[in-house]
Structure 1
C-alpha cells in the first residue's frame, strides 16, 4: 500500500485513538451538481483518511452533497487505510475516497497490479461489490502513485523526459543521477529495488541517500544531497517547488486512481449520489490535486476553505 504524507488534521474538534474527526457544517448553495440530482431528506456520514488530499476530498464531497440537499456528517481524518475501510464496511461511515491500487492489493488481496487504469478500476469495482458490497463510483483521472521527481530545469538540462532516459544516464554517469529515497521505498519491490530491475540499472550506494519522505521534496529542489528523488505525483509541493515527476514509460509503478466508495445499500437507496459525485471525479486530475494539496500544505489554508473555493470556481456549487 502506498504511504502518503500525513498532515495535521484541520478543523479538529475531537481527537480520538482512531484519528481526528472534522465536523465542519459549512453550507453549500446549489450549483451545477444539484441540477436533476436532489438528495433532500437523505443523511450521510462522509469519511476520509488523515492526509491532506483525503481531508480535501472529504470536504469536497460533503459540500457537494449538501448542495443537492443532503444532511452530511463528517468523519474526515480517520487514521490509516485499514481503519477507514473498516469504518465503511461496518457502517460507521457511508462513503470515502479510496485508491484503485490500494483496494486491488490490500483489500482484495491481489498480488499483481493491473497496468491498465480502466481495467484495474473495473476489476476492483466488480470484485469489491461482489465480495464486500462496496460500490465504486466513477474514478478520477488523477493517479496518486510514486514517481522519481527532479527539478524541472535539471530535467530539461539533462534531456530527461522519461525514466528510460534517467536509467541511461544512471548507467553512463551515475554522479548526475544522485537520488534520494525514503527508507520504506528503498526496500519495497514496487519501490527502488523493483524500479532498478525494471529499467535495467543499478545506482551505486554513494549516489543514493535515504531521507525522511517529507524532506525529499526540499532536497530535490535545493539539489542537496540529490538531484532526483522519490515523490508522490499529486503532492502540492511538486508545483510549489517547480519539480517534475518523470514519466514512467514502462508503467512500473502501480496505479492509484481515486474514486468515491459507497456502501452498496446506501447507494441503492440514494442513486442520485452518482449524479452529484461523478462530475467531480471527472474534474480531479493530477494538476488539480497538486493545486488543492498545495493550498493546504504550502499556503496553510483549511481543507474546507480550499474545497469550497474550488467547487465554486467550477460552478459545481453556488457562491
Structure 2
C-alpha cells in the first residue's frame, strides 16, 4: 500500500505536477446511491464540487465515500480521485482545483506544513494542523478515530510463546534473541523511524543487549507483511489500517510510549467552499465517527486481498451502515 507519510511535497513544482499528471480519476465509476442518514441539502441544487484523493487503496476508498456522499447531498461532483502522490493532491487543493479530499493529520503537519516533529496525541495533532492550515485557506473537519500510523505487528499465533507480548515495552522485556524485526528500507533510515524508536524503548540498534543488527531484516515495501507472517522475524513494521493485518492474522502492538505521530484521517475542505456550503461539515459528521481502524482494515482488505473495486466497497459499506440506500 502507498503510505501517507512518505511523499515529499515540493510546491514550486505545482504547475508541472498539475499539467503532467492531471487531476483525473483512474476509475470515474461510482454506484448510484439514494438518501439514508445522508440526505439532499436544501439549496445545493447541483452546485459543482471536485473531490480528490491520492492513488493508494485507502485513499481510493475514502475518495469514493466522499464522492457518493456529496452526490447524495445534491452536489454535482467532479471525481478527481487517484491523484498520483501527496504533492499534486495538496497542490490541487491549494490552487482551487480540488475542493475536498481526505487527508491525514500527521501528513498535513509534517509534510505540508514542514513541522519538525509530529504530535502523538491524536486530538492535539488534529487541533495543531487545523489551526495552522487555516492560514492557507484549508479547513480540517473533525477527524475519524481511524489512525493510519506506523506500528509493529506480530503473528497472533506466536503471542503466547512470546510471553503474551502486547506492547512495544513488552518487546523490550523479551530476551535479545527474540527481538527480531522486519522493516522496509525507508523506515529503516528515517530520522524519525526505526533506530530512534528502538532508542525510545531502551533497546538501541547495534547494542548486543538491545537489538543486534543481525536481528533486523530490511525488505522491500510490502514484503514485510509476508515475512512476518512466515516467522522470518517476530515483529514486522506495519500500518495500522492495512487490510493485510486481518488477512494474515497479525496483531498490532501498542505503542505505549507514544513514539509514533498521529495520522488520523479527516475530511479537508477549501475554506472558500465550506463557507459557501457549510452543510458539507454535516455530511461528513455522519461519516467520520464510523471510521475506525477495524473498519478501514476491513475495507482496505476487500480491495487489496479480495480484489474488489474501491467504489463498490465504498458504496456497499455506506449502505450497510445506513448512510445511503
Q: Same fold (TM over 0.5)?
A: yes
Displacement of 1:25 in angstroms is: 4.2
User: For 1:39-61, what per-residue CA distance to the aligned partner results, in whole angstroms no more than 9, with x for missing partners?
Assistant: 43222110001100000000000
Match of 1:152 among 150, 156, 161: 156
- CA gap 1:296/1:38 in 2 versus in 1, 3 angstroms: farther
Aligned to 1:104: 109
Task: Calculate the TM-score normalised by the size of structure 2.
Answer: 0.89
Alpha carbons 1:43, 1:70 under 8 Å: kept? yes
Q: Distance between the aligned counterparts of 1:195 and 1:97, measured in 2?
A: 28
Aligned to 2:207: none
Displacement of 1:152 in angstroms is: 1.2
- CA gap 1:212/1:94 in 2 versus in 1, 3 angstroms: same
The 5 Å alignment of 1:30-49 reads 30-34=35-39, 39-49=44-54
Q: Distance between the aligned counterparts of 2:290 and 2:161, measured in 1?
A: 32
Match of 1:3 among 6, 10, 13: 6
Larger displacement relative to structure 2 (39-48 or 309-318):
39-48
Aligned to 1:161: 166
Aligned to 2:10: none
Aligned residue for 1:226, secondary structure, equals coil
Alpha carbons 1:20, 1:50 under 8 Å: kept? no
Match of 2:132 among 117, 127, 134: 127
Q: Specify every segment of 5 or more residues in structure 2 that has no aligned partner in the other structure, as ranges.
A: 8-19, 205-210
Q: Is residue 59 of structure 2 the alignment partner of residue 54 of structure 1?
A: yes
User: What is the alpha-carbon root mean square deviation over aligned residues?
Assistant: 1.8
Match of 1:84 among 78, 86, 89: 89
Alpha carbons 2:40, 2:74 under 8 Å: kept? no
Aligned to 1:295: 302
Aligned residue for 2:82, secondary structure, equals coil
Q: Is residue 177 of structure 2 the alignment partner of residue 175 of structure 1?
A: yes
Larger displacement relative to structure 2 (174-183 or 300-309):
174-183
- CA gap 1:36/1:156 in 2 versus in 1, 3 angstroms: farther
Alpha carbons 2:31, 2:312 under 8 Å: kept? no
User: For 1:97-126, what per-residue CA distance to the aligned partner results, in whole angstroms no more than 9, with x for missing partners?
Assistant: 111011111222211222221111111101
Displacement of 1:36 in angstroms is: 6.2
Displacement of 1:289 in angstroms is: 0.5
Q: Distance between the aligned counterparts of 1:44 and 1:301, measured in 2?
A: 26
Q: Specify every segment of 5 or more residues in structure 1 that has no aligned partner in the other structure, as ranges.
A: 5-15
Aligned residue for 1:122, secondary structure, equals helix
Match of 1:205 among 206, 213, 221: 213
Q: Distance between the aligned counterparts of 2:151 and 2:22, measured in 1?
A: 30
Structure 1 stretches of 4+ moved >6 Å: 35-38
Q: Distance between the aligned counterparts of 1:53 and 1:73, measured in 2?
A: 19
Match of 1:188 among 184, 187, 190: 190
- CA gap 1:207/1:291 in 2 versus in 1, 3 angstroms: same
Q: Distance between the aligned counterparts of 1:276 and 1:178, measured in 2?
A: 45
Q: Distance between the aligned counterparts of 1:231 and 1:18, measured in 2?
A: 31
